[in-house]
């Protein structure tokens, strides 16, 4: 998914989604160097997701080990 930063209002960036809807996103959720007109790309990192799931499972197994 990609979205375009339309403008900044207080602590939010108003962005236009690919479907032409506008939504507010907290400034803290976008790169600090982003500016009006920039296009932000958002994607799911499957490898990192799997690694995190593995780490969480290990932590849970360690906590509930018999």
Query: Mean pLDDT of successive 10-residue segments in the chain (66 residues)?
Result: 96 96 96 96 95 94 80
3 has which bridge partners? 17, 40
pTM equals 0.72
Give pLDDT, residue 66.
Answer: 62
Residues 24, 30, 36, 41: is their CA dihedral positive or negative?
negative
Give pLDDT, residue 63.
Answer: 87
> In degrees rounded to 5, what are phi and psi of residue 3?
-145, 155
CB atoms within 10 A of CB 14: 15
Domain boundaries, the chain: 2-63
């Amino acid at each position: 998914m990609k979205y375009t930063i339309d403008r900044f209002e207080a602590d939010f960036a108003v962005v236009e989604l690919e479907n032409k809807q506008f939504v507010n996103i907290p400034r803290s959720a976008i790169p600090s160097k982003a500016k009006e007109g920039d296009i932000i790309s958002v994607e799911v990192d499957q490898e990192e997701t799997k690694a995190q799931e593995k780490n969480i499972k290990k932590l849970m197994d360690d906590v509930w080990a018999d």
